[in-house]
Structure 1
Amino acid sequence: MSWPRWWRALRFRNHLQAWLVRRLPPSAQWTLRHQRIYLLPTSFGWMLLGVALAIWVGALNYAVSLAYALSFWIIGLLLVSVLMAYRQLAGLTLQAGTADPVFAGEVTHFSVRLDNLSSWPRTLQGHLVGSTGRAPACPLPPHSSVWLSLPLATTQRGLLAMPALALSSDVPFGLIRAFAYVRLRQQALVYPVPQRDVLGLRQGVSGEGEAVSTAGDDEFSHLAAYRDGDTPRQIAWKVLARRDVLTSKRFAGVAAGGCRVLDWHDYPLGDDVESRLSRLAWRVLECEREQHCYRLRLPGTEVGPQPHQREQALALLARYGEAS
């Protein structure tokens, strides 16, 4: 079977791109030098090069001086375009930012800062290798910085490493495209997809409506905003007197109404790991929505009531099973 020419060209381009990316070491910061910048004519540039060649052949046959001048002028324009396109990327500094955590199936955004330390303006385009979206042209004035937000769809939980970033520019004439690949050391945390689990939520509570807890009742954890139903014992009276702010004490043991226990062993042994994690994630969100005290227990670890408990609990579920 013979593949179409365009298909073979596409496969070659993908293999070349993968080879270039594999050679790049990941780093938190990059400064583009000539070793990492590549130059190729655009479609219009190839066409203009063909026109110049045709004019030059005609000038050879008919000895027309103006035709020689025109062909050499076109070649000179292409050479100037090479230098101008190269200057758009040369010396550009890139620095990795942060990526907000998302649930699997959502779109995360990696942030990258571009620093233009030169005295000339730049116009760039950037996208993540493997993503379908293309970012619009990004102007970068002299001696300035700009943040790029690069979207990427997620498919599974865990730590998602940022793919290689492709930067390109065909400014000013659109004849030559300068492009470069960089690998920035940046990761996004992807939580499991929440899966409704009313039965599991009830398993963490005893028949009298109180949650099961083995921690000590008097172990202070942190201060939080006052909630309806908090007992006078929980109110931080000293904070109220000093700052006139009504806050409540949170304890690592049973809080008001009981502490729910979200346990890995609430499910049968044969249950799928990803299904357990998804249902536990839903139960964490439900406890947060109801502002109910809870403890998340996984094999070998536990997250109890504490500041930023939601983020820590979901991160524990997202990274469950990772090799230490």
Structure 2
Amino acid sequence: MSKLERRYRHLLRAYPPDYRHDRGDEIVGTYLDLAEPRRRWPSLADAADLVRGGLRQRLRAAGATDLIPGVRLAALLALTTAAFLAGFWTIVEQSPPPAEAGVPVLDPFVSTGIVAWLAWLVAAVLVLVAPGRPTWVAIAVAVVATVAVLLASPLAGLPRPPLLVLVPQAALGVLALAVDGHLPLPARALPIVAAAGGYVFGHGFYWDAYRWSAEQLLPATGAVLLGVAVLLAVGLAMRRDWRGGWAVVALLTPVGLLSVHILAGAVDGLGGAPRPTYPTLVGAALTVGLLGPALLPAAVALRRRIGRSNPGEPCPTCGTRR
């Protein structure tokens, strides 16, 4: 066995064992036939293709074939939400405090956050006019810009938006990377419409709106996002389409991060006007950030167990009754 074949077989572990046993030799043989002479490592495209194929087969085996479409639906909702917030904060950034306030600014803007918000607006435009790879690249750039503002601004001694604003924006962006590249025009228009709505809504707010948004706007946005996702899930489920349920599960992490202020306030027992302590805020954010990503695989495992315990369901691969 050559080194290249051995490495392809390592990647083949992405597939379920039964599938590897039945078709593993055929799959590896196809990749070896197409590989360039003297190649020693699988190409990145081949590796990604094998991992994607293995994931699809594992989802079929678990009866969770709607997971990927559900994540794509969640990605569109996440991108729309991120665009709305970016539009709102773009107008806020254009209203710096007066000099006598003694608040550091990035003249003529409030903070370095303007870099991230403009990157998000570009992504919202591109999903409308250039779906697919240009959109994915723009979203990735926006996520990187958001993280850069978060990490680099303190090192450079420049003002930045609060952590409670930047962290959920980055989480929305990571999920938005899964947005479908073949959306119909009305769906592609949602992010730019939301961004315009946020920009209009932001008129009348000033530099101190960041604090207000962390305490009120973000939790309200998270509640609306979750409510829309649940309504979509119910509507789709009535047609025996489970994409919406998976979208709700995928959105729980960004919704939780948008609502960290409320969650931490509840932990501190401060009722309807929470003023949580900083350690409680950090603890709530870490809890959401650690538990949230584990929900999808847990839901897939649960779906697999339910499928095994229900012998009347059709096999997700061949369609025959068990």
Give the TM-score taking structure 2 as reference length.
Answer: 0.19
Asked which structure has the greater RCO (Cα within 8 Å, sep 6+), the reply is: 2
Return the structure number with greater helix share: 2
User: As a proportion of its length, which structure holds more strand?
Assistant: 1
